[in-house]
Amino acid sequence: MIAALLSSIYLGWSLGTNDAANIFGTAVASRMIRFTTAAVLASIFVILGACLEGYEGVHTLSSLTTQNVQTAGITAFAAALTVTLMTILKLPVSTSQGVVGSIIGVGIMQNDVNFAKLSKVVICWIGTPIGAFGIAIITYLLLAQVFNRMRIGIVNHDIILKVGLVIAGCYGAYALGANNVANVTGILAAAQVVTPFQAVVIGGVSIALGIITFSRGVMGTVGKGIVKLDAFSSLVVVIAEAITVHIYAIIGVPVSTSQAVIGAVLGIGILKRIEAIRLKAAMGIFYGWLATPVIACGLSMLCYVVLHLEYTG
């Protein structure tokens, strides 16, 4: 039980280092908000979102395959190891894909995979960047009209943008906690290692620790690696990401803030000029998304075999 719990905490920390940083990445990259301020605010609101609305996604993940204490530990460890590897490579990947890949790996070894539920999750994965892409374009056009009609000076303009980035980032962090805490400790709740309340608290705190300790590198990749963003565009990206992720939190399917942010950033890039998009960086991130569930699935199968051999031996 302790090993499963520690593996989930490690997974939460990994999620914080990679996915959670994306909610303030564009704002930090545009130098409207300091990294320290962003990390503290993100940590607080991630915990709030996890505790207040973090229960819906647990059922979806727990229904993909049967879990016990041993498989819960394998799933969390394999997913966390995969996300950590991608974080070292400074690629903003999907923790949701890592967790689901790990769950499927265990399910394959047990010959127990709910493919109907899996197809629902995959459809939501595809819909996340596409939805954020569309929401970003609509939000950009609407906010641009509002700002153009406001007669304010440069100083007040910057203040409004900074306040907007803080508010939108806090909302994004809240949505992240509500949506992604199921990735961290949902499998523990499914295996009855912890209660649902304990699961959201432990998951929220572990994500927050990851944000504070090791998230700066991925922020730079998201904020600068694909398209250079000004402060206004950064605000639009955060709003689009937050709305997209919160919608899926209500639906009860954990998705990736990384995919939502990238979709929103690409939407802004299309509006600004397709030439502004750094396609090489975008393709590298896309390949990371493809590799994440495959690597996590393979690692969980390997861990399952090793532990099974050790147990039988």
For position 155, what pLDDT does the model report?
Answer: 75
Q: Any idea what DSSP says for residue 114?
A: -
For position 269, what pLDDT does the model report?
Answer: 82
* Whether the predicted pLDDT of 209 surpasses 70: yes
For position 302, what pLDDT does the model report?
Answer: 94
How buried is residue 208: exposed, middle or buried, by Cβ count under 10 Å (0-12/13-18/19+)?
buried
For position 311, what pLDDT does the model report?
Answer: 57
The pLDDT of 246-269, averaged and rounded, is: 88
CA distance 257 to 23: 7
Number of domains within the chain: 1
**pLDDT confidence bin for 17, thresholds 50/70/90:** confident
> Which among 226, 233, 194 has a CA at the least distance from the CA of 69?
194
Amino acid residing at 114: N
Most confident range (mean pLDDT) of 61-70, 119-128, 220-229, 283-292 is 119-128
For position 57, what pLDDT does the model report?
Answer: 84
Tokens 């990947």 locate to 93
For position 294, what pLDDT does the model report?
Answer: 92
Contact 261, 237 (CB under 8 A): yes
pTM for the full predicted model? 0.86
> Which among 267, 273, 235, 242 has a CA at the least distance from the CA of 257?
242
Backbone angles phi, psi at 68, to 5 degrees: -130, -175
The pLDDT of 289-293, averaged and rounded, is: 85
For position 59, what pLDDT does the model report?
Answer: 75
For position 274, what pLDDT does the model report?
Answer: 55
For position 196, what pLDDT does the model report?
Answer: 84
* Whether the predicted pLDDT of 189 surpasses 80: yes
For the record, the structure tokens of 53 come out as 């609305």
**pLDDT confidence bin for 241, thresholds 50/70/90:** very high
For position 244, what pLDDT does the model report?
Answer: 97
For position 62, what pLDDT does the model report?
Answer: 73
pLDDT per residue over 102-126, tens digit each? 999 999 999 888 888 889 888 998 9
The pLDDT of 81-96, averaged and rounded, is: 78
| Domain coverage including residue 88 | 2-312
**Is 270 or 143 the better-scoring residue by pLDDT?**
143
Tokens 């909610």 locate to 23
For position 220, what pLDDT does the model report?
Answer: 60
